[in-house]
Structure 1
Amino acid sequence: MTHEDEDIRFLLTEAVPPLAPPPDRVGAVARRVRRRRRRLSAGTALAVALTVGVGVGGVQILAGGDHPPAPRAATQATIREARCPVDLREFPNLESARYGDSEPLVPGGALEITACEVPNPAGRQDHGRTAPRVLTTGVGDIVRALNSLPPHQTMGGAGSPAAVERSLRCTAVAYDRELAYVLRYHDRQPVTVYTSANCRVAVSGAQGRGLDPALFATFLDRYRAQIVAQTPPATIPTPACASRIPTSRLRLTPGRSGLDDQVSANNPSKDPQLPSKLVAVVACRYEVGEASARLIGQDSDRDDADALRPFLNTAFDQGKVTSCGSYPGYPPPAVLDSLIVADATGATAEFWLRRTPCQALVGGRSSGVTPTDALVAALDRRLGPPPTR
């Protein structure tokens, strides 16, 4: 190549600008990835900031201003259910109570009162403890009765104050059980009133009162009325006569063998013997043989059942205790009438009227009493005259 040729190539090279390098596609992709990551990081930081801001100060923002959040409302303390004492070890020391105050023994406004029979291990043989009785109607009457108890211990009957002494005057009768009353409230814990039949006192907390024996009777009156109101008469079945009774059982008084008597569970004083209206009655007549008494007549009634109640109550109230059939060696009756009644609470009770060779009316676990002529005549109108033997 001559010098002229080199000069011409140089002029051509300088006259044309250099070509741009090919685009760097890998670098472009990397730059886009970095920009996207920066945008995501910024968005995430903003979201975290907003979340923390709402969590920490959101309540203030929603409430307006910089006021601190309102404190949570205090939850009401749980009110415990009423619980009967298990035994006498849960009873307080009666002598340590304060007697003579005029303050109410229990607060007003109770929703219900439970009467609890608390067994006494030192008592006589127990024939079965009645389940707790829960009173929900007439509760105010019992609250007033509790707050009207005499301020001091009473002995020898209600209203007969004992002499003021440093210690209580108590008897030593081995009662099978003692009574406690548990009052339940809507807005306070239950209140328990412990009573002592031996010392004739009632104690609640640090306060003591004298015990009126009519307190439990008043409670049972309201309790029976509550059951009657809740029990439709049509749901109470008519009792039925047993086809046979073992003669050996008839040789013993109910005090030894015992007759069915659900009524007395809510009427322990048996004054009167049948306190509630009768809704059904069945009269059964038996002819007594060597081994068993055989049913020979019966009459049931629902329409006029209560007509027998005054005859039975009067007979037990006025009758005198008799030895007729009162010990195992006494001969069984030749003819026996049995009365089974159901009262308006649904409870039943059975009564025996021994007809020959001697007359005695027995019921529950009581000794026999001489029947009244009115009761005997009322039974004969239902069953006819007894057969002669």
Structure 2
Amino acid sequence: MPRGSPAARPTRPAVEEPACPSDLGEYPDLESVPYGGSEPLVPEGAVEITACEVPGTGSSPAGLSGPRVLTLGVSDIVRVINSLPSYQTGLGVRSPQPSGDARELRCTAVYRDHELAFVLRYPDRQPVTVYTDVNCRVAVSDGRGRGLDTALLTTFFDRYRTQLVARTPPESVPTPTCAGSIPTSRLRLTPDRSGLDDRISVDNPGQSPQLPTRLVAVTACRYEVGDSAARLTGQRSEWMDAAEALRPTVNAAFDRARTTTCGGYPGYPPPTAFDALLVADATGATAEFWLRRAPCPALISGKRTGVRPSDALVAAIDGLLGPPGR
């Protein structure tokens, strides 16, 4: 090198952009992964974590949520990942033998059309993917495995909802509107067959509480059911503090609630009268609840089996719409 020439600087390898797995075929073989150990599962220093809903091989990604990118509280999620138990004792997971070897991996047979993978982005190293499997209750990264703790899911989605609230002006959240009519045939099906709109549960997979984030707007709708359609007969909306005041009542109605067969198999009878409650929270997400009034009472949400409605929730809805039949 000629005298006075600047020394060549070492080139840093280009950092790839994080990418979600396209299907479960990209997952590592869970049976061949060694489980245990106390070393960190992922490196410190991540600046972004993306939660990916990965469809099963041959499954359609339609209906799954897109990637959720978290930049707030990333270090909290890294700590949870590195604190996952070496072995998850109990159903469906390896636990250590006295010899130190792991038992055969056991998984439940419950069908799931997707699993969650977490892709960590770093400023100075390649992305790292943590693959989770709820049926086997394990998390795997870079050829090593740990037991899966639900704290990973709850902590991630808690931080993600907080990030959404910080970035969503309340005035930008539309007030839910009542449908003018609903086909009576749809009212014959319980939600586990047809489903109600529930975008809030997408970022609240544990649904405990049912509504985890403060409410911005609520709309109550009352319907009269005919042979072919239920027609809107009354509605009322509330905003901000008045809407938020209803949230504890809704949550309490689902807390330790008892299920009911009202409107279920074998007849799937439609209600002769029912109300709907539509809510929008501070993340901008919405959810719909049905309160069957007659001939039997049931509170229905999402794809959950109906529960017996609480007196407090019935009174709250009647406070908005007036007593039935008025």
Do these two structures clear the TM 0.5 threshold for a shared fold by scoring above it? yes
Matched, 1:95 2:31: yes
Contact 2:28 2:143 in 1 (8 A): no
- Deviation per CA, 1:73-130, whole angstroms, max 9, x where unpaired? 233221111111112222122233333222111111101011111111377x987211
Give the partner amino acid of 1:273.
Q
Corresponding letter in the other structure for 2:229: S
The reply to whether residue 135 of structure 1 matches residue 70 of structure 2 is yes
SS of equivalent to 2:212? coil
Partners of 1:193 and 1:154 lie apart in 2 by 20
Q: Distance in 1 between matches of 2:297 and 2:4?
A: 90
RMSD: 2.2
CA-to-aligned-CA distance 1:276-317 (integer Å, 9 cap, x gap): 111000001111122211211111010310111111111112
Q: Which residue of 1 aligns with 2:54?
A: 118
**Alpha-carbon distance in structure 1 between the residues aligned to 2:131 and 2:162:** 24
Whether the aligned pair in 2 keeps the contact of 1:100 and 1:152 (CA below 8 Å) is: yes
Distance 2:14 2:289 in 1: 49
Once residues 25 and 232 of structure 2 are traced to their aligned partners in structure 1, the CA distance between those partners, rounded to angstroms, is: 50
2:258 matches 1:283: no
Structure number with higher helix proportion: 1
Q: 1:328, CA displacement in angstroms?
A: 7.0
1:211 to 145, 148, 151: 148
Q: TM-score normalised to the size of structure 2?
A: 0.92
Q: In the TM superposition, what whole-angstrom CA distance separates every residue of 1:138-162 from its partner, at most 9, and x where no partner exists?
A: 100000000001112433499x956
Residue of structure 2 equivalent to 1:107: 43
Query: Structure 1 residue 353 and structure 2 residue 291: aligned?
Result: yes
Long gaps (5+) in structure 1:
1-58, 61-66
Measured in 1, the distance between the counterparts of 2:215 and 2:167 equals: 16
Matches within 5 A, 1:31-110: 67=3, 69-110=5-46
Q: Which residue of structure 1 lines up, in the alignment, with residue 191 of structure 2?
A: 254
Q: If you compute each CA radius of gyration, which structure gives the higher value, 1 or 2?
A: 1
TM-score, length basis structure 1:
0.78
Once residues 330 and 200 of structure 1 are traced to their aligned partners in structure 2, the CA distance between those partners, rounded to angstroms, is 36
Match of 1:294 among 221, 231, 250: 231
When structure 1 is superposed on structure 2, of 283-292 and 225-234 the one drifting more is: 283-292
Letter in 2 for 1:337: D
* Structure 2 letter corresponding to 1:295: L
Residue equivalent to 2:166: 229
Distance 2:115 2:89 in 1: 17
* Matching residue of 2:272: 334
Counterpart of 1:321, as a letter, is T
Identify if the C-alpha distance between structure 1 residues 328 and 278 changes in structure 2 by more than 3 Å, giving closer, same or farther: farther
Aligned length, in residue pairs: 322
Shift in CA distance, 162/217, structure 1 to aligned 2, threshold 3 Å = farther
CA contact (8 A) 2:20 2:52 kept: yes
